[in-house]
Structure 1
């Protein structure tokens, strides 16, 4: 899930956190193992299937990518030492780093990169839409890779820092084997013997070309979704750093931890069945608008998550190129108006909507209750369905649920569009599209980065809000707490593994 954020949003009071007891412990800097908490379970090492959003730490420990994400969000050299577009921005040439070998001994070169990228393009997976714009990949020489596009792709460079840019040995492209253990190109090698469910261990890859950027000899990723458990683990020194909730910050700081903030995620409903194929009511714009009007965003931002979130009707990052403050006025809560829209659409008696219960990972029981009550006020009977944890993502991505609550990490506008808006987007399970939206998307793709493209992104955002493809509720930042001896370096969007460094005691 990139971008996909699975941080629990359980509302906890500062008093409850303080009751956990203890203060910040020095841990990671005094030993060779960096232990990080992640709310995301490890399901696979297959690059076409991995969630390098919320699960980015697994991806970045095991794999290297053609480009690296810079602290400011811009792509930087990685396994490619340089990269440049032609004048039409439909051909990208990358010069590849020499002397890299995979953990099976195979050599990394342009032929290997082409093989891996062609495999990625042909494989069906939740991340392979990143390659939809690619017409061909060629290797003119041993260290040069050329990517030709069908049309301009504003997210290509960023995607080459993500799943699309992951490199593994061409001999390892066997899904049944690859999902269990990676053939590494990254800074660490997976240690299957020391790993178990909920705890994934990696050892330093001595052959990695930039190992000085990673000061720890071992990395352990521990799955912890419950905020109480996570805070206790921090305080007793069982983990060295973890993502914490915004409303926890006061208590966490008082306990002596250092906090690093970065861009986070939006939280709300994805009204996926916009044609009404499975749930006919959602095919009516008036019903989707009624849902937006019924949502009490101020309840979430002022009571359930005080100080930890901002009201939003948008799927794009606050302050970003696509964001428009005025759109947050579009759906000020109005239950009477929402009921009128339901009546006009022929649903005065309401309807039943089944949604997956993600409260263990995204949201909370209290948030579920609030959604049930708010939609219930306009006749929508929400039924929360329990789904096995490893089936949650696929159940939403495969269209099992016409609407569902979700949290998705916000990145650059076109990445957000690729994740949720394009017909083949991971979180557009019914393949929704519209001619008017298509024209806006086409215009944004053709523009070079800058003010004109930003205006196109805002036009797309406006269309999505007015047509109620989603019912966002709030946006929240991502906050990492770390113990003495470990520092989390600044990064605009998300936190990458390379940002965890030793610090002075």
Structure 2
């Protein structure tokens, strides 16, 4: 996913974004030196800094920013839906205006992510754009030292406008999907930082690494086919409720996450305005009750279900297979790996899948998982009872926003749109030479937070 995980660090090396997402989740100027967001949340105006250049010598201006966004809209990437209804207008050479037909409270946030990337217009049309990206960011790709799929090397962009924020002369990213390989590389000094897991955190800490710990994701099942289009049984709320009751969340927290985190049944983190602590036990672990619900729904004999075996996340599949098997749900696995795996997961092909999804502010979680155009609403489901609440979320503020977000959460829990299990502690490791800062809702720190240790 272009705006999630540690892939963000790679493109942040070469591309700048119009706005900047600070560690606490606030929005700050970046390529755009100022911005104004209308009170009805339908118009975002950004003023681009003068004098900026891409590494190919082209000028960074409003036309270039528009070309980048139009490319994102039509390129088919996972973030494209965030710009689906956005009209981009060049008001003058350095002024860009985004408008939407309906309120979109996350427009400024989107300009901090992949949707806000500014790339050289000429590079967008080049046949080798994936191998030779051209941005205006702090670094530029060192193609000679780069091996696609394995190692990506970047050297300083000497003309970057904000060099003091990026102290390194050279940055190298190594692709290491296997967590054991990352541990070995950190311990041996091959890398200075990398994602850690609950399984590897203690070993890394014992070796002298510093662990950056914070809550980022919820982990559990996406019941993506909640309308029952592929698997009719999933269209029955009692089946989905049974699938929530059959999982022992406390046991899962201990077995899969070494007790690091807290149990949940909600897609909103426990600091979110939407979180409902009084409903955390709404689906207490009760296999007998789950079986009764399957009988009431007419599915006492269960059904067949294919889930993806997603590389790096398939550690949960044995528990999924075992527990759903108690409901006569016969689970088979389909191997899912490679660079296109995430796009296949988001295609709607799999009616149920396990994932750990980043959670930020309530509106962020609503827009990324619930609206009809949401990236993680993979089947683009709409629900009449939810629609007015989702629309209100885009404009409401203060207590009104909190009350509305909690109403949305209550609906999701009662209708069992998901089966969340835990809010695991997120770990990111840095060596003794490196320091970094966690970013709200991000599993990997952003590039600008890395500094040499004092």
Q: TM-score with structure 2 length normalisation? A: 0.94
Residues 387-407 of structure 1, C-alpha deviations (whole Å, 9 max, x = no match): 342332122211221111111
Residue 485 of structure 1 pairs with residue 433 of structure 2: yes
- Structure number with greater CO (CA < 8 Å, separation at least 6) is 1
Aligned mates of 1:482, 1:246 — CA distance in 2: 15
Q: Residues 351-500 of structure 1: matches in 2 within 5 Å?
A: 351-358=303-310, 360-364=311-315, 367-448=316-397, 450-494=398-442, 495-500=445-450
Aligned mates of 1:52, 1:290 — CA distance in 2: 31
Seen in structure 2, the aligned counterparts of structure 1 residues 119 and 237 have a Cα distance that, compared at 3 Å, is closer
Post-superposition offset of 1:124: 3.4
Paired residues of 1:246 and 1:309 also in contact (CA < 8 A):
no
Partner in structure 2 of residue 334 of structure 1 = 286
Tell me the secondary structure at the aligned position of residue 380 of structure 2.
Answer: coil
Partner in structure 1 of residue 103 of structure 2 = 152
Which consecutive residues of structure 1, in runs of 5 or more, have no partner in the other structure?
2-49
Aligned mates of 2:3, 2:43 — CA distance in 1: 27
Paired residues of 2:179 and 2:200 also in contact (CA < 8 A):
no
Aligned partner (choices 198, 215, 219) of residue 246 of structure 1: 198
Paired residues of 2:41 and 2:395 also in contact (CA < 8 A):
no
Aligned mates of 1:486, 1:309 — CA distance in 2: 25
Seen in structure 2, the aligned counterparts of structure 1 residues 162 and 455 have a Cα distance that, compared at 3 Å, is same
Which has the higher mean CA deviation after the structures are superposed, 331-340 or 252-261? 252-261
Post-superposition offset of 1:84: 1.4
Partner in structure 2 of residue 96 of structure 1 = 48
Q: Residues 107-126 of structure 1: matches in 2 within 5 Å?
A: 107-126=59-78
Tell me the secondary structure at the aligned position of residue 262 of structure 1.
Answer: strand
Which consecutive residues of structure 2, in runs of 5 or more, have no partner in the other structure?
none
Aligned partner (choices 250, 253, 266) of residue 218 of structure 2: 266
**RMSD in angstroms over aligned alpha carbons?**
1.8
Aligned mates of 1:126, 1:104 — CA distance in 2: 27
Paired residues of 1:247 and 1:308 also in contact (CA < 8 A):
no
Residues 282-308 of structure 1, C-alpha deviations (whole Å, 9 max, x = no match): 111111111011111111112332232
Partner in structure 2 of residue 42 of structure 1 = none
Aligned mates of 1:490, 1:304 — CA distance in 2: 23
Post-superposition offset of 1:82: 0.9
Post-superposition offset of 1:122: 4.1
Partner in structure 1 of residue 452 of structure 2 = 502
Post-superposition offset of 1:496: 0.4
Seen in structure 2, the aligned counterparts of structure 1 residues 251 and 124 have a Cα distance that, compared at 3 Å, is closer
Which has the higher mean CA deviation after the structures are superposed, 89-98 or 386-395? 386-395
Q: Residues 255-294 of structure 1: matches in 2 within 5 Å?
A: 255-294=207-246
Partner in structure 2 of residue 203 of structure 1 = 155
Aligned mates of 1:301, 1:87 — CA distance in 2: 42
Post-superposition offset of 1:501: 0.3
Partner in structure 2 of residue 37 of structure 1 = none
Which has the higher mean CA deviation after the structures are superposed, 339-348 or 191-200? 191-200
Which has the higher mean CA deviation after the structures are superposed, 124-133 or 203-212? 124-133
Aligned mates of 2:45, 2:235 — CA distance in 1: 44
Post-superposition offset of 1:75: 0.9
Residue 310 of structure 1 pairs with residue 259 of structure 2: no
Tell me the secondary structure at the aligned position of residue 68 of structure 2.
Answer: helix
Aligned residues: 451
Aligned mates of 2:395, 2:112 — CA distance in 1: 22
Q: TM-score with structure 1 length normalisation? A: 0.85
Post-superposition offset of 1:200: 1.4
Aligned mates of 2:354, 2:13 — CA distance in 1: 30
Aligned mates of 2:400, 2:384 — CA distance in 1: 21
Post-superposition offset of 1:382: 1.1
Aligned mates of 1:427, 1:232 — CA distance in 2: 33
Q: Residues 27-38 of structure 1: matches in 2 within 5 Å?
A: none
Paired residues of 1:480 and 1:488 also in contact (CA < 8 A):
no
Seen in structure 2, the aligned counterparts of structure 1 residues 72 and 226 have a Cα distance that, compared at 3 Å, is same
Aligned mates of 1:309, 1:226 — CA distance in 2: 22
Post-superposition offset of 1:248: 4.0
Seen in structure 2, the aligned counterparts of structure 1 residues 54 and 466 have a Cα distance that, compared at 3 Å, is farther
Which has the higher mean CA deviation after the structures are superposed, 400-409 or 80-89? 80-89
Seen in structure 2, the aligned counterparts of structure 1 residues 353 and 302 have a Cα distance that, compared at 3 Å, is same
Aligned mates of 2:362, 2:298 — CA distance in 1: 36
Seen in structure 2, the aligned counterparts of structure 1 residues 352 and 458 have a Cα distance that, compared at 3 Å, is same
Aligned mates of 1:429, 1:304 — CA distance in 2: 26
Seen in structure 2, the aligned counterparts of structure 1 residues 175 and 453 have a Cα distance that, compared at 3 Å, is farther
Post-superposition offset of 1:425: 2.0
Aligned mates of 2:427, 2:129 — CA distance in 1: 32
Which has the higher mean CA deviation after the structures are superposed, 113-122 or 196-205? 113-122
Aligned mates of 1:126, 1:489 — CA distance in 2: 26
